[in-house]
Amino acid sequence: MPDFLLEGAYAWPIAAALSLMVGSFLNVVILRLPKMMELEWQAEIDEAAGKEPAAPQTFNLSKPRSRCNNCGHMIAWYENVPVISWLVLRGKCSNCGTAISARYPMIEALTALLGGFVGWHYGLGIDGAGMLLLTWSLIALTFIDIDHQLLPDRITLPLVWLGLLLNTQQAFTTLSSAVWGAAIGYLSLWAVYWGFKLLTGKEGMGYGDFKLLAAIGAFGGIAVLPLTILLSSVVGVVLTLAIAATGKRSVSEPLPFGPYLAIAGWIAIVWGEQINAWYLGMLVS
C-alpha cells in the first residue's frame, strides 16, 4: 500500500467514498438479513414438524432486485445512487409517488461520515481497515436491533474473530488483552443476565449482547470494557430521553441494549485512552 494512504489527510476521502457505497449495501443487510433468518427458522420448524417443504424462495442479499413496496417498480441503478438518488427523487418512488423512508439516505450519510472519520483518524493501514469493518458492522447491528431486537451471529461472531486476528499484529492492543477482552466481555454480561434472571425470573438482555461486547473486547482489549459498560449506560439514558421527547416512545418503553453497546464500544475504542486519562486527571486534581 502506498505510504500516503496511511496518512489520514489523504485517506479520509477514499474511506468516506467507500463507506458511502457500503452504506447503501448496509440498508439491504438491515432490511433483508432478519427476513432471511426468519425464512430459515421457519423451514427448520416445518422440517421438524414433518411438513412438506414449501417451494424454495430466492431471497438473499442480492435477489430479488430492490423494488417499491407499493407498486412493485424495479429500482434502476440510477435510482439507487447513495443519498443523491433520494434527493433527486425528492424521497418518492418515481413510478407511483409513494414516500421512500428518509432512513435510507440517513444510514448512507452516517456510514460515510463515520467512515471518513476513521480514515482521517487511522489512515488506511491494518488498523484503519479493521476499524472500517467494525464501524460498518456496528451500524448494521444497531439498526437491526432497533427494528427486531436481534443481533445476528452472522455479524457478531465474525467480528470476534476479526478483532483477535487483527490484534495478532497488535492493530489496537496486544493479543493477550484481546483474548481476555473477548472472554470477559462475554462472561460479564452473561453473569448479569443470569443474576437478573435468578432474582426476577425475567430476561434483561439477549445472548447477542454478550457476543457484541465480546467483539468489542476482542478489538479494543480488556481496558475498553469498563468504559464501554459505563458509556452504554450514559448513552442509554440520553437516547431514551431524546426519543421520548419526540413522542414516539415513552421513557418506560426501553430500547434494546445493542445500540447502546455499539455506540459506547466504538467511542471507547477510538477515544478510550484520552477519556481515561482525562478522568484520572480529574481525580488527581
DSSP tag of 204? -
Highest mean pLDDT among 72-76, 88-92, 179-183: 179-183
Q: What percent of the chain has pLDDT over 70?
A: 91
Whether pLDDT at 107 is above 70: yes
For 99-108, 111-120, 269-278, which range has the lowest pLDDT when averaged over its residues? 269-278
- Model's pTM, two decimal places? 0.91
List of residues 6+ apart from 67 with CB closer than 8 A? 73, 74, 75
Least confident stretch, 50-54, 114-118, 210-214, 229-233 = 50-54
* Residue whose entry in the numeric block shows the C-alpha cell 421513557: 251
The three grid cell numbers given for residue 230, joined into one nine-digit string: 459505563
pLDDT for 186: 96
Lowest mean pLDDT among 5-9, 116-120, 226-230: 5-9
**Span of 61-70, 96-105, 236-245 with lowest mean pLDDT:** 236-245
pLDDT tier at 285 (50, 70, 90 boundaries)? low
Mean pLDDT calculated for residue range 77-89: 90
- The structural domains of the chain, with segments of one domain joined by +, span 1-106, 125-285
What pLDDT score was predicted for residue 73? 84
**Predicted pLDDT of residue 254:** 64
CA distance 194 to 188: 10
Q: What is the pLDDT of residue 205?
A: 78
SS3 state at 99: strand
- Structure confidence by residue, pLDDT tens digits, 61-71: 888 888 888 88
For position 63, what pLDDT does the model report?
A: 84
Three-state SS string over 11-68 comes to HHHHHHHHHHHHHHHHHHHHHHHHHHHHHHHHHHHHHHCCCCCCCCCCCCCCCCCCEC
Whether pLDDT at 227 is above 90: yes
CA distance 236 to 139: 16
Neighbouring-strand partners of residue 74: 67
SS3 content of the chain, % helix, strand, coil (to 5): 70, 0, 25
- With cut-offs at 50, 70 and 90, classify the pLDDT of residue 54: low
pLDDT confidence tier of residue 250, bands split at 50, 70 and 90: low
Residue, of 81 and 48, whose pLDDT is higher: 81
Q: Please compute, for residue 264, the number of CA atoms within 13 A of its CA located in the half-sphere on the CB side.
A: 25
* pLDDT higher than 70, residue 252: no
Kindly state the average pLDDT of the residues 83-102. 90
**What average pLDDT does this structure show over 205-229?**
94
The confidence score (pLDDT) of residue 55 equals 63
pLDDT at 30 over 70: yes
**Cell digits for 50?**
414433518
Which is more confidently placed, 3 or 23?
A: 23
Q: Can you tell me the mean pLDDT for 264-277?
A: 90
pLDDT score of 245 more than 90: no
Q: Round to whole Å and give the CA distance between 273 and 285.
A: 18
CA 139 to centroid of chain Cα atoms: 3
Cell numbers describing residue 104: 435510507
Higher pLDDT, 263 or 233: 263
